[in-house]
Amino acid sequence: MSKSKRLISELTGVFLAAVLFGIPFYFVINNASKNAQEASLMNIKAPAEFLLFNNISEVLATNKGIVITAFKNSFLITIFSIMVLILSCSMAGFVSQRRTDKATPVINFMILAGLIIPPAIVPTIWLLMSLNIFKTMFSMVMIEAALTMSFSTLLYKGFTATIPRQIDEAAIVDGAGPLRLFFQIIFPLLKPTTATVIVLSSVNIFNDFVNPLYFFPGGKNATVQLTLYNFMSKYHSSWHLLFTDVLIISIPPLILFIFFNRKIIAGMSAGAIKG
């Protein structure tokens, strides 16, 4: 392909991406800047008066600052879930890739089962209530980590395959034990995959709607996605505040993707050479 054709194809791809992602984002910002009557029309016409900052202040003050409380809960759930994922999945990926005994197929099946078998809502609630941890931050963190664990483990396993076994053998010869081998030698080499797990899992957990709705109910336990209910009802919807809330809760994931998109690509493709 000549340079001119390649340039045209690249510009076309950039233009299409800008249209596909830019128009919805403009629609949200545009309606978040309108008053209640204008936003209810659901069009892309510019607002008669720019009210974005007024709407943001009203959203943050709604229901005694429930949006701020929701941000705190979502950030805590996301941070603790990522810590659990990085620690457990990196070790599981390393062990499952290095083991070659009879237990290896069983371990691989259990990892894949986490991707295949859907979560059961009612049995999970019953188990949490039996353990007296229902509607607690601890249970929500464990659920979010468990639902993302299989995918993250496979990422770590794929990248571990690119690390020569000679590194393990050299560390063992030097007297390193299993924990020292992993945390001082192997884990620092897993940084690309760790960055990928942090970004992808953070966005999924932060934007999760269904699981907090079922497993973390209550006004004090609200997460960012559940705050959308504050601006929608059966008889009336404040569309200008709803779009403003959507805009506010979209900022953290957007910042993550802007600054770490290259790390996501590197981490996803890091284990593609070896299986």
Residues 245-254, mean pLDDT to the nearest whole number = 89
Q: Give the C-alpha distances (Å, rounded to integers) separating 34 from 43, 52, 128, 135, 265.
A: 11, 7, 43, 37, 37
Is residue 274's pLDDT more than 50?
no
Instruction: Give backbone dihedrals phi and psi of 192, rounded to 5 degrees, phi first.
Output: -60, -45
pLDDT value, residue 120: 86
| 152 within 8 A of 267, measured Cβ to Cβ | no
Which residue in the block uniquely carries the two structure tokens 């197929």? Answer: 105
Burial 175-211, CB ≥16 within 10 A → b, else e: ebeeeebbeebbbeebebbbbbbbbbbbbbbbbbeeb
Residues 249-268, mean pLDDT to the nearest whole number = 74
| 170 within 8 A of 231, measured Cβ to Cβ | no
- Residue scoring higher pLDDT (270 or 158): 158
Residues forming a β-bridge with 237: 232
152: pLDDT confidence band, cut at 50, 70 and 90? very high
Q: What is the pLDDT of residues 21-79, one digit of tens each?
A: 888 888 999 999 999 899 888 888 888 899 999 999 999 998 888 999 999 999 999 99
Is residue 266's pLDDT more than 70?
no
Give the whole-angstrom CA distance, residue 240 versus residue 216: 27
Give the whole-angstrom CA distance, residue 270 versus residue 155: 9
pLDDT value, residue 270: 57
143: pLDDT confidence band, cut at 50, 70 and 90? very high
Is residue 205's pLDDT more than 90?
yes
Give the whole-angstrom CA distance, residue 216 versus residue 138: 10
pLDDT value, residue 275: 44
Residue-averaged pLDDT of the chain:
86
- Which of the following CATH numbers is that of domain 65-269: 3.40.50.300, 1.10.3720.10, 1.10.10.10, 1.20.120.1200? 1.10.3720.10
Domain boundaries defined on the chain: 1-54, 65-269
Q: Give the C-alpha distances (Å, rounded to integers) separating 121 from 60, 147, 168.
A: 31, 12, 42
- Residue scoring higher pLDDT (236 or 198): 198
Residues 78-106, mean pLDDT to the nearest whole number = 90
Q: From the CB of residue 136, how many other CB atoms can be counted at a distance below 10 Å?
A: 15
170: part of which helix (H) or strand (E)? helix 165-173
pLDDT value, residue 241: 92
Is residue 211's pLDDT more than 60?
yes
- Burial grade of 226 (CB within 10 A; 0-12, 13-18, 19 or more): buried
pLDDT value, residue 21: 80
Q: What is the pLDDT of residues 104-122, one digit of tens each?
A: 888 888 888 888 888 888 9
Residue 249: name the closest of 270, 216, 213, 222 by CA: 222
Is residue 273's pLDDT more than 60?
no
